[in-house]
Chains A and B, each alone.
Chain A
């Protein structure tokens, strides 16, 4: 396949970026999207040009590192991660535009690499159950209805990639935040801190500069792990009820 790539190049956070165009003549349909970048980068290095920086690690669709905005969609045309996207999803001769995630809370570090430290701070604000190692009850002491465990799992499948933010016109992080709040709200172990968790995580989310949700559902449509927007509804319920009866703030 022949592919024309228009790629966002930006030296660092403080330098202005621009698109650069690259021609690739020997792309195999069996290549993953990132393998195409490997081949391009290899050629660039051999030509003495600076290779394109991009985040990636597991290349199995689970670590959440990869984060390319491809032809106007996070992770490209399929509902999967960039690393699992293969070139057979594109046409021979196609021009593909590749950008980093665009959001105020995700500043560009270089080329296609952004900082997602804002997500870390939201997790640190309350995305946990306060138990120390040791001295916990037997795993089967508290039965959990299978449907609840399954719903908790569905929410916990979030890979924290940030596609939801990149997809949203408001750069809202509500799908990501609601996934964690939902997972723990659905489990008996999460009950003692249920209210304070919702309050703190939402407060941190707002502080980081993410936008609000206007129910366009773009996040759900683009989430590579199929996280449902019903989690956002649950988070709103959690947040309002926590606020109404807050013992915290």
Chain B
């Protein structure tokens, strides 16, 4: 298989405009003859569904939650980048492009990243027009703040709830189209398979989570906007329901999976409190604007936050400020996480030993409590709620946690997977963040894909196939897929073993975290591979899923998702094994600079690893998309 990224020729700044002109259009009167399925209603899905319906297409949208507004984009806190240069501090589209491609450790496509930076400015305009209440200054204009990996202030925000407000904007646009009858919304409905015939995506199979009814939906094109797969680690900052199922089923139907091992470990999360822990809570990166990260210079096992205030300045190691004087506490996430891990590995961790301090004492002294409260009040409250400590008085304790997956379904410049008619948007695709995503750029990418990319690129595909190129939901291919889905549900219910889904999921997560988490070695990855295979076998022999298929059955939902994580986990390990360089969040201990930074090997690994599923229990086949850099020079990433 030859992977064609379809990046247009020509100068970087003209690629997207030129491409838009070259794409075919669908006549307004013909748009209503097409049906498009959108799975997932987060920023990418809601914005795509609304925008496509506005154009005149008929859209069916699906989410597993009881409302499209509950998709996990809602939990994004910090902000959204845009190259508006409202601060007059030297920002530009090119600078946002440059920061993002460098932040991704040169493992993303120049063309994609430049387009992202280019449309970023339109996103802010769009959201303001929808009534998104961004933070403003007294003069009435929009406020900005800075985020990791950048030296300009280009992040737009709505207190610590930016994702919520952006999603509510997209949700309102979606509601308008539901009310117009152009979008048919299916809540509490989960996609369980994609139907492919003659090499094209034709529709999906879903399960109604309340009645258990399994149904076929046919369409001209299918968009997967189903988010990331961080929950393969069991503990992550993702919502409990976030899962890989839609993407994984697409993968098994022929869509290649790009860079599966690229995982983002976010440095500022609330540490684990015990075995009962069900998820991890992020403390926004924006806190690093004012919070200072430190550990004691000499190890003090079990140090509590309330005793930390008594440790004199001279005995504290502000290790990010010390090692990275120019970016300080605002180094990118992979760098901050790795250094927190190093501090804990040296025995200097505080609390349980797996935590470092994030201290606001200096900021409160400098700006006053009121200003800090205005900026971060909701985050401080959340921290106190969860830990019982008051961060206005004592430092927060933080530790890295899985937050985002840069890997995902491989897509070309048009966001098309390797299955024609099947698209992947937002976190579900692999495209724009390379090996490490910078803060405030996930929201940007989700909305860029949904509002400003897919409405153009999908028209080209639809115009080419024509509206008659669709099969009905009664076609034997749908019947077969339907039967397969039902058989799998029955299989899960029939095992009646001795372990719960959560127990097996936790074991998978621990293995992934220990061997395929913040740092990876060949030896560890080999162990993980064997362990995951054992776990998968155990799952299919020993899982206990109670209840019936024809009711609200949350254990059954979880079981199906965990079964897919068991397969994905092994692919992540294979990908991490084969990429023996370090890059961004993928840190192979064998490949580091003398001072412990990720050491890339551009001569061997300047490519996207795209994996092809072949058959059950067979090794996947690796395809390489070489990355061409015509505008940026590949250098050792430095934030010193």
Q: A interface vs B, CB < 8 Å?
A: 11-12, 28, 30-32, 34-36, 38-39, 42, 45-46, 48-51, 53, 55-65, 78, 80, 84, 86, 88, 109-110, 113, 115-117, 119-120, 123-125, 127-134, 136-140, 142-146, 149-150, 152-153, 156-157, 159-160, 183-184, 187, 189-190
Stretch from B136-144, B248-256, B527-535, B568-576 forming part of the interface with A = B136-144
Q: Which 9 A-B pairs have the closest CB atoms?
A: A143-B140, A128-B172, A136-B129, A153-B133, A133-B51, A139-B128, A30-B273, A152-B133, A57-B239
Nearest-neighbour CB distance to chain B for A15, whole angstroms, equals 11
Set of chain B residues within 8 Å of A60, measured between Cβ atoms:
75, 237, 281-282, 382
Question: Out of A59, A65, A133, A156, which one reaches B54, CB within 8 Å?
Answer: A133
Query: Given the known A-B contacts A63-B239, A127-B175, are A133 and B551 also in contact in the complex, defined by CB atoms under 8 Å?
Result: no
Q: Which residues of A contact B51 (CB under 8 A)?
A: 132-133
Chain A residues with Cβ under 8 A from B551's Cβ?
11-12, 110
Among listed B158-166, B304-312, B597-605, interface-contacting one: B158-166
Closest to B178 in A: A124
Q: With an 8 A cutoff between CB atoms, is B459 at the interface?
A: no
For A150, the chain B residues whose CB sits under 8 A away are 133, 136
Q: How far is the CA of A146 from the CA of B452 in the complex (A)?
A: 29
Of the listed stretches B27-35, B62-70, B97-105, B391-399, name the one at the interface; the rest are far from the partner chain: B62-70
Which residues from chain B contact A149 at a C-beta distance below 8 Å? 133-136, 140
Question: How far is A80 from B126 in the complex, measured between Cα atoms in Å?
Answer: 32
Cα separation A127 to B133 with both chains bound (whole Å): 15
List chain A residues, Cβ under 8 A from B277: 35
Q: State the Cβ distance, B525 to closest chain A Cβ, in Å.
A: 30
Which of A12, A56, A125, A129 interacts with B129 by CB under 8 Å?
A: A129
Q: Is B125 touching A56 in the complex (CB atoms < 8 A)? A: no
Apart from A63-B74, A86-B385, A149-B135, what 13 extra A-B contacts exist at CB < 8 Å? A11-B551, A30-B276, A60-B282, A109-B552, A113-B552, A133-B455, A139-B124, A143-B139, A153-B133, A153-B158, A156-B165, A189-B130, A189-B131
Asked if A45 and B544 sit within 8 Å, CB to CB, the answer is yes
Contact with A along B432-471 (1 / 0, CB 8 A): 0000000000000000000110010000000000000000
State A136–B173 Cα separation when bound (angstroms). 14
A225 and B274 CA atoms in complex are apart in Å by 28
Whether the pair B67, A116 counts as a contact (CB closer than 8 A) is: yes
Q: Cα distance A48–B500 when bound, in Å?
A: 10
A-B contact list, 22 entries, CB within 8 Å: A31-B276, A34-B278, A35-B278, A36-B276, A45-B544, A60-B281, A84-B386, A86-B388, A109-B210, A128-B176, A131-B126, A132-B51, A133-B54, A133-B452, A133-B455, A136-B126, A142-B128, A143-B136, A150-B133, A159-B164, A160-B69, A189-B130
The answer to the question of B91 belonging to the interface, with a C-beta cut-off of 8 Å to chain A, is: no
CA distance A109 to B553 in the complex (A): 11
The verdict on A132 contacting B54 (CB below 8 Å), with A35-B276, A56-B240 known, is: yes
Complex: how many Å from CA A185 to CA B475? 49
**Please, which residue of chain A has its CB at the minimum distance from the CB of B51?**
A133
Report B168-207 CB contacts with A as 1/0, cut-off 8 Å.
Answer: 1001110110110000010100000000000000000000
Residue of B nearest to A80 (CB): B385
Least Cβ–Cβ distance between B32 and chain A, in angstroms: 16
In whole Å, how far is B589's beta carbon from the nearest beta carbon of chain A?
32
A187 and B75 in contact (CB under 8 A), knowing A57-B239, A124-B175?
no
Contact indicator A30/B65 (Cβ below 8 Å): no
Q: Are A115 and B66 in contact, with the CB atoms below 8 A?
A: yes
CB of A187 within 8 A of CB of B136, answer: no
Residues in B with CB closer than 8 Å to A32 are 278, 386
Q: What chain B residues lie within 8 Å of A142 (beta carbons)? A: 128
Distance of A202 Cα from B431 Cα, bound (Å)? 43
Please name all residues of chain A whose beta carbon is closer than 8 Å to the beta carbon of B179 when the two chains form the complex. 124-125
Identify A62's interface contact among B75, B84, B131, B498, CB under 8 A: B75
Q: Residue B175 contacts which of A28, A57, A88, A128 (CB distance < 8 angstroms)?
A: A128
B287 within 8 A of A: no
- Least CB distance, B17 to chain A, in whole angstroms: 14
- With a CB–CB cut-off of 8 A, which chain A residues contact B165? 153, 156
Q: Would you list which residues of chain B between 13 and 66 have a CB under 8 Å from chain A?
A: 47, 50-51, 54, 65-66
- Are A38 and B278 closer than 8 Å at their CB atoms? yes
CB < 8 Å neighbour of B161 from A53, A62, A117, A139: A62
**CB contact under 8 A between A39 and B276, given known A119-B67, A153-B165:** yes
Q: Are the C-beta atoms of B173 and A59 separated by less than 8 Å?
A: no
Interface contact A61-B175, CB-CB below 8 Å: no
Max chain A CB contacts within 10 Å: which of B139, B168, B173?
B168
Nearest Cβ distance between residue B237 and chain A, in whole angstroms?
8
CB distance from B161 to the nearest CB of A (A): 7
A144: which of B122, B140, B187 is its contact (CB, 8 Å)? B140
Closest to A45 in B: B500
- Residues on the B chain within 8 Å of A144, using CB: 136, 140
Contact partners of A57 in chain B: CB under 8 A: 65, 70, 72, 239-241
B636 within 8 A of A: no
Is B502 at the interface (CB under 8 A from chain A)?
yes
Q: Is B546's CB within 8 Å of the partner chain A?
A: yes
Cβ contact within 8 Å between B175 and A160: no
Would A65 and B65 count as touching, CB distance under 8 A?
yes
Q: In the complex, A134→B448 CA distance in Å? A: 12
- CB of B20 to closest CB in A, whole Å: 12
Among B101-157, those with CB < 8 Å from A are: 122, 124-131, 133-142
Cα(A4)–Cα(B106), bound, Å: 55
For A115, what are the chain B residues with a Cβ–Cβ distance below 8 Å?
A: 66
* Contact of B625 with A by CB under 8 A: no
Q: A120-B67, A184-B131 are in contact. Are A84 and B382 (CB under 8 A)?
A: yes
Partner of A58, one of B74, B122, B130, B385: B74
Q: How far apart sit A58 and B281, CA to CA, in the bound complex (Å)?
A: 9
- Pick from A31, A84, A146, A187: contact of B274, CB under 8 Å: A31
Indicate whether A84 sits within 8 Å of B131 (C-beta atoms), given known contacts A113-B552, A124-B178, A149-B136: no
Contact B544 A46, beta carbon cutoff 8 Å: yes
Please report the C-alpha to C-alpha distance between residue A206 and residue B295 in the assembled complex, in whole angstroms.
57
Q: Is the CB of A137 within 8 A of B72?
A: no
B175 in contact with A45 (CB, 8 Å): no
Residues of B within 8 A of A11 (CB): 551
Taking the complex as formed, is B554 at the interface, i.e. its CB lies under 8 A from any CB of chain A?
A: yes
Q: With a 10 A CB-CB cut-off, give which of A49, A125, A157 has the most chain B CB atoms.
A: A157
CB pair B546–A51 under 8 Å, yes or no, is yes
| Contact partners of B72 in chain A: CB under 8 A | 57-58, 63
- Smallest CB-CB separation from A154: which chain B residue? B133
Q: How many angstroms from the CA of A127 to the CA of B282 in the assembled complex?
A: 30
Could you tell me the distance in whole angstroms from the C-beta of B400 to the nearest C-beta in chain A? Answer: 17
From known contacts A28-B274, A32-B278, infer whether A131 and B129 are also in contact, taking CB-CB under 8 Å.
Answer: yes
On whether the beta carbons of B172 and A129 are closer than 8 Å, the reply is yes
Tell me the bound Cα distance from A148 to B165 in angstroms: 16
Complex partner residue of A120 from B128, B135, B187, CB under 8 angstroms: B187
B522 proximal to A (CB < 8 A): no
Report the separation of the CA atoms of residues A168 and B51 in the bound assembly, to the nearest whole angstrom. 37
